[in-house]
A and B are shown apart, each in its own frame.
Chain A
């Protein structure tokens, strides 16, 4: 329909179709659309035309913006998976390197720090040349992982502002990746979010030879890790509950809601207060 105005083929009160035309349509050149719409009987006057145009543009742009941003969650999924792959591979190669370099050079060491030292050496023969080259790959992979992390940190708050604020961008991205996307994360029950990343333990439990896992990847969150072991189950449950709500707000509305963070903070303060209560009770002692 090159050349037609957006209002052709739709009714004035049919905002959904109008919005579709605004998004998909095109024309080689503009025209006096308000006058044409009135001529064509789409609207009784220009005022009514502009009212319909406003509705259609607002609906079209809101939908298009939401869709475009949602597609961003897949970029995030790729980036965080690639980041973890780079880190894991770097560690594996660093181990191989430390074995090899330990035999070649006087100093010994392990890990990425050691690889950085080896990179600075001048090779004195073909053996050292290979080992140093391997060290360069290790360092390159670590640098790439850092770059990916920086990307995740800027990208995650756009894709999922509430989830990122609450979980931190990297954990937010991991949760989205484990669920397969923001939409699927938003549709998961909080009990599932709590154990995302602990699938092995969960299936062992379901087969009947292990207790149920208290937490999956959310273990890395300060609110779980920093809580004493006997309260971690409660902490993980509370955190997962709020993360689930945050993911749903991010997916369905996209508005930033700082009050979600505050609710979580309050809940955590209550859980952690138990430790202090217990400590006080023990100090006072005697009534056991």
Chain B
């Protein structure tokens, strides 16, 4: 693997640039950057709210995500930029794709103070509309799109990922099938992902994010 060794020493799976800090007596994960959504800030560190951010929740649980710090990241489903703002704080070049115009406007505001964050108003189901901008060989493909066909989205965007890269996808069951049993829905999505990836771990995200499954995988 071409990835550089970890230097976080003792924080387990936390990428460089993400640290547990104490806010008002509570231990919380934090990154360094301009505040975005009214989160508590201390000495330049912004608290990362695990209830508003699935990635924040995953890191808080100690799940290995492949982020090491300074990574090149393709982030699909950036919404208004809550989570991607933290990612850009610790990662390297971060491409943030969002489909809806309203949140994209907030995303632009988040990107203004972060020179390594590149906002794109594009449809994650159509990579050909941003393949002329997003570079190949990204270290982490993070996906949080609430649309049907979340497994397909992961597969279609495999082309951006380095062979030794990581896919971290949070799957929303209700976006695939409103009524069906979530376990069955997750099964279908994971099966689709397995066409292009080798699944490392899956993790239910209840209770902070109900009906969501996190899938961590490596390209085949």
Contact = CB atoms under 8 A, between A and B. Distances in A.
B118 A53 contact: yes
Contacts of B127: 30
Contacts of A66: 101, 105
A151 to B, nearest CB: 16
Interface in B87-139: 93, 101-102, 104-105, 107-108, 111-112, 115-121, 127-129, 131-137
A42 interface: no
A34 B213 CA distance: 34
A4 interface: yes
A224 interface: no
Nearest to B132: A27
A58 B135 contact: no
Interface residues of A, number: 33
B159 interface: yes
A103 interface: no
A6 B101 contact: no
B210 to A, nearest CB: 23
A213 interface: no
Interface residues of B, number: 28
B121 A54 contact: no
B67 interface: no
A1 B133 CA distance: 13
Nearest to B104: A65
A60 interface: yes
Contacts of B112: 58
B145 to A, nearest CB: 17
B197 interface: no
Contact of A26 (B115, B120, B132, B159): B132
B119 A58 contact: yes
Interface string A12-37: 00000000011101111111111000
Contacts of A74: none
Contacts of B118: 53-54, 57
A27 B128 CA distance: 5
A132 B160 CA distance: 62
Interface in B48-64: none
B131 A69 contact: no
